[in-house]
Amino acid sequence: MLLPALPPADAMRHWLRITMTLALALQCACSGDVAVVSDAEAATAVADAPRVELGDAPLADGSESLEQLGRRVVEALNARDVEALRRLAITEAEFKTRLFEVLSNHESARQIGPDLLWSMQRGESDDDLGHILDLHGGRAYEFAGVEPDRVERREGVTLHRTPTLVVRSPDASALLRLRLLASVVEHDETHTFKLIAYRLRGGDS
């Protein structure tokens, strides 16, 4: 069945809307969060959003603190243990059924929906994780700390934005700052912490 043709101007506007929506969603997925907007925009979007049902169960295999999560990342990197690294990030079920509504603070993200956003975000995360292992796997780093860029509170969760891992070099001669992680989500009720995704960013030192 053929769909009726749109006038050229209407067709162009239609495809521009689709392209802009997908571009925004992809940018959000690549950032490690479903959306990154200002606090004022987030407040407006959250006010219009459905009530979040996060549940009272801990995040699966979640860490008890941000520091413990950072230490586990470094240990898994040293062991080049891909599956251990993946377990430290949120699962597909957690994203789609518990966290999507609280993370999707932009209408474009909600229009795309959890299935496509998860697919894009997981693909980007896995690609970056491969590069991270090539650069930093098996290096015998010693964990020294983890420093989020900022902390943002939302309904039922706390987001620790783009934390930097601080590690000692294998010969303990220097402190290195590794920018490998997208934001971390903390489930407030159980104080369990998991990565939203891996994201290799510039500026390692």
Q: List, for residues 160-171, the tens digit of each pLDDT value.
A: 999 999 999 999
Above 80 in pLDDT, residue 12?
no
Nearest to 118 by CA among 4, 27, 29: 29
Residue pLDDT, tens place only, 13-38: 444 444 444 545 545 544 444 444 44
User: To the nearest whole number, what is the mean pLDDT of the chain?
Assistant: 82
Burial of 139 (0-12, 13-18, 19+ CB in 10 A): middle
Query: Measured between alpha carbons, how far is residue 97 from residues 49, 82, 90, 155 in Å?
Result: 15, 25, 11, 15
User: Which residue from 118, 123, 115, 126 is spatially nearest to 86, judged by alpha carbons?
Assistant: 126
Q: What is the pLDDT of residue 189?
A: 96
What is residue 95's DSSP assignment? I
**Does pLDDT of 68 surpass 80?**
yes
* Residue 203 pLDDT: 65
- pLDDT band for 52, please (50, 70, 90 cuts): low
Question: 114-136 vs 8-30: helix axis angle to the nearest 10?
Answer: 40
Half-sphere exposure of 157 (CA within 13 A, CB side): 29
Res 29: pLDDT: 46
Query: Which one has a higher pLDDT value, 126 or 52?
Result: 126
- Give 66 or 10, the one with higher predicted confidence: 66
Please give the pLDDT value at position 14: 44
β-bridge mates for residue 193, sequence order: 63, 186
Q: Closest Cα to residue 196, out of 110, 83, 69, 81?
A: 69
Do 76 and 198 form a contact (C-beta atoms < 8 A)? no
The pTM score is: 0.77
User: Exposure string (b/e) for 58-85, b if CB count within 10 Å is 16 or more?
Assistant: ebeebbeebeebbbbbbebbbeeeeeeb
**Half-sphere exposure in the Cβ direction for 96 (13 Å, CA):** 12
- Report residue 9's pLDDT band, with 50, 70 and 90 as the boundaries: low
Count the neighbouring beta carbons within 10 Å of the beta carbon of residue 138.
Answer: 11
Average pLDDT over residues 84-101: 96
Give the span between the Cα atoms of 179 and 205, in whole angstroms. 9
